[in-house]
Homo-oligomer: A and B are copies of this chain.
Amino acid sequence: MSTAKTNIPFSRESLEQTLKRRFFYAPSFEIYGGVAGLFDFGPPGCAFQNNVIDAWRKHFILEEDMLEVEATMLTPHDVLKTSGHVDRFSDWMCKDLKTGEIFRADHLVEEVLESRLKGDKLARGEQVKEEDEDEDKKKRKKKVKEIKNVKLDDEVVKEYENILAQIDGYSGPQLGELIVKYNIANPATGGKLEPPVEFNLMFDTAIGPSGNLKGYLRPETAQGQFLNFNKLLEFNNDKMPFASASIGKSFRNEIAPRAGLLRVREFLMAEIEHYVDPEEKSHPKFQDVKDIKLKFLPKNVQESGSTELIEESIGKAVATGMVDNETLGYFIARIYQFLIKIGVDPNRLRFRQHMSNEMAHYASDCWDAELQTSYGWIECVGCADRSAYDLSVHSARTGEKLVARQALPEPRTVENFEIEIAKKKFGPKFRKDAGTVEKWLTSRTQCEFEDLGKELAANGKIVVQVKGVDGDVELDTDLIKIEKVKRTEHVREFVPNVIEPSFGIGRILYSIFEHQFWCRPDDADRGVLSLPPIVAPTKVLLVPLSNNPELQPVVKKVSQALRKEKIPFKVDDSGASIGKRYARNDELGTPFGITIDFDSVKDDSVTLRERDSTKQVRGSIEEIVEAIKDITYNEGTWAEGTAKLKPFEGQSA
């Protein structure tokens, strides 16, 4: 892989050193030895993240009038039991009973088989790509320490390749079978491994002093939004469709975190829950985005074993049914616009559709925005149509209606089975169980009512089992009536479907680092981070030519002008050479430099330098600040922003 701006190969090591040296981020608790999967952001990392969040808020929440919500991270057991996380939010792990070491089963199988394939290639005298070797070195640090030159049978090679192609699809027991069949052991010691067991990835804790209320740290921000649905709908004056949005930390107790910011235990998410009428998924603003061309990897292509991308407009993708509906398509296009704005390389962004076996049973369609990095294609944004699943399950569990209502253009007549309970007899007969039996009766579906009604008509009674009531429950026609009733409805009631764009902010930040990091051909030791001005941590570096006090009044004037326009800047009046100061700054991703020289003292003119091209222009303080403002906040290009200024060919760096 080579960098975006030159042909110098991308070096992950060099990027990571730069990010660490400039304290974009660093392992948490490093002086205590660190904890895997936890990272702290330093000043430039914080500012970059804050700017991305700010851009996200403007691009989605403000632009689309979404309702922002902040729910708590602590979440009681019942909520996550209902959502399915208690039962299904897990990975498979294997333990080496002798050493106590724990491996994530799918990763272990993947790495061991990959290393055997590599050993086979070496034994056959084939070349192993440099890139692969680099990748391998990283991984071997973790588990597989050395590649053994062992030739495999051609058939075995095929089997391994076949397994690796579908490694994400195996269940725990299937992984267990692979481990036995292919004799996979602890790579470090050769020790035998226990069969895979499920490990829930939520961090648990106890809320309150008694220890009785079990809670978890939320694995996503979505549930807090669903639970507030009724309040949000009311806040929106009962108008549909609408969206809520949350920005906040979520948690995932990874078995063996690796790959830096891409797989961490505590991470920032930004999630949207767009509530829509299941019968009307068109979108009024779809017209505005329909011509945007995107790279798609639909499920049928993947299922045919290919990864070839289809380049197509989102309009066509929806028209042909490849993308399920307009609202989903609209968000896919808006995700694309957002990612490009904050620095993602469009050539390294694809939308991959979930295959049927990957997708939750209730979802009707799901596309991931994947960004290409040195770790492969990484899922950074998910965009799923989750149907009515979430609101339905919470409603069923709590008995609270979570529905929207639509005034019908014309009243309509509906015929439904209804049950009538003779309360006066019912209460005395069932006494303490009366409530339970009544709740059971009234929550039957239409089909069940039909069946029960038939039975009641035929036998004069029904006999049923009700959870929580001992023995049979017998009900005769004195107690209940089940009849088809005609009613005129003026309002249609429905459970909204949810379309959920979900962003992993840390993964996006890291991918942008990879996409925008490069080295100048004449200075391979120092990198440049070409972060777009809108998200760059600092916008301007002020560089007086020397620390001669004569220059100070101009530094002050420029500072005031920048402060007035609320443009974040730094002054570097260290003794270092101009070139060194700019190089330092290139690493921090600062897009503009203002040089103050002795001419500045005479006429208040200063030089503006652009980071990527190192082009320079000269102008008055006001003109230069105006140009920076234009390019940074009003989406102007360098050429547009500096059109009126004259190029400068002085003491450049």
What residues make up the interface of A, taking CB atoms closer than 8 Å to B?
22-23, 26, 28-32, 35-36, 38-43, 45-47, 49-50, 57, 62, 67-76, 78-79, 93, 100, 102, 199, 203-210, 213, 215, 217, 224, 227-228, 230-232, 234-235, 237, 249, 251, 253, 255-256, 265-266, 394, 398, 400, 568, 574
Number of copies of chain A assembled together: 2
Chain B residues with CB under 8 A of A251: 74
Chain B residues with CB under 8 A of A253: 206-209
User: What's the Cα separation between A180 and B485 when bound, in Å?
Assistant: 67
B208 and A32 contact, CB distance less than 8 A: no
CB contact under 8 A between A70 and B93, given known A30-B227, A62-B568, A199-B209: no
Closest to A65 in B: B570
Chain B residues with CB under 8 A of A76: 29, 32, 35
B70 and A40 contact, CB distance less than 8 A: yes
| A–B pairs, 18, beta carbons within 8 Å | A23-B231, A23-B232, A28-B72, A29-B76, A35-B74, A40-B228, A41-B70, A42-B69, A42-B235, A49-B70, A50-B68, A102-B208, A199-B209, A203-B207, A207-B253, A207-B265, A209-B253, A249-B249
Chain B residues with CB under 8 A of A210: 100, 102
Chain B residues with CB under 8 A of A75: 29
Chain B residues with CB under 8 A of A57: 50
User: What's the Cα separation between A649 and B224 when bound, in Å?
Assistant: 46
User: What's the Cα separation between A205 and B251 when bound, in Å?
Assistant: 12
CB contact under 8 A between A45 and B29, given known A40-B228, A93-B209, A209-B255: no
A72 and B204 contact, CB distance less than 8 A: no
A73: contacting residue among B199, B227, B266, CB under 8 A? B266
Query: A73-B249, A208-B253, A209-B253 given. 16 additional CB < 8 A pairs?
Result: A23-B231, A23-B232, A26-B231, A30-B227, A32-B76, A32-B79, A38-B74, A42-B67, A42-B228, A50-B68, A73-B266, A74-B266, A100-B210, A205-B205, A208-B255, A237-B574
Closest to A257 in B: B208
Chain B residues with CB under 8 A of A231: 23, 26, 42
Shortest beta-carbon distance from A107 to chain B in Å: 12
A32 and B227 contact, CB distance less than 8 A: yes
B41 and A69 contact, CB distance less than 8 A: yes
User: What's the Cα separation between A215 and B251 when bound, in Å?
Assistant: 13
B47 and A69 contact, CB distance less than 8 A: no
CB-based closest 5 A-B pairs: A41-B70, A46-B68, A31-B400, A43-B67, A203-B205
Chain B residues with CB under 8 A of A35: 74, 76, 207, 213, 215
User: What's the Cα separation between A72 and B29 when bound, in Å?
Assistant: 9
Closest to A213 in B: B35
CB contact under 8 A between A29 and B79, given known A43-B68, A46-B69, A209-B253: yes
User: What's the Cα separation between A74 and B199 when bound, in Å?
Assistant: 19
User: What's the Cα separation between A213 and B38 when bound, in Å?
Assistant: 13
User: What's the Cα separation between A235 and B19 when bound, in Å?
Assistant: 12
Chain B residues with CB under 8 A of A69: 40-43, 46
User: What's the Cα separation between A249 and B57 when bound, in Å?
Assistant: 20
CB contact under 8 A between A36 and B67, given known A23-B235, A29-B76, A227-B30: no
Chain B residues with CB under 8 A of A213: 35
Shortest beta-carbon distance from A235 to chain B in Å: 5
Closest to A266 in B: B72
Chain B residues with CB under 8 A of A217: 205, 217
User: What's the Cα separation between A299 and B6 when bound, in Å?
Assistant: 66
User: What's the Cα separation between A235 and B584 when bound, in Å?
Assistant: 12
Closest to A226 in B: B31
Shortest beta-carbon distance from A583 to chain B in Å: 15
User: What's the Cα separation between A560 and B35 when bound, in Å?
Assistant: 50
Chain B residues with CB under 8 A of A72: 28, 38-40, 266
Closest to A22 in B: B235
A32: contacting residue among B22, B71, B78, B102, CB under 8 A? B78
Closest to A26 in B: B231
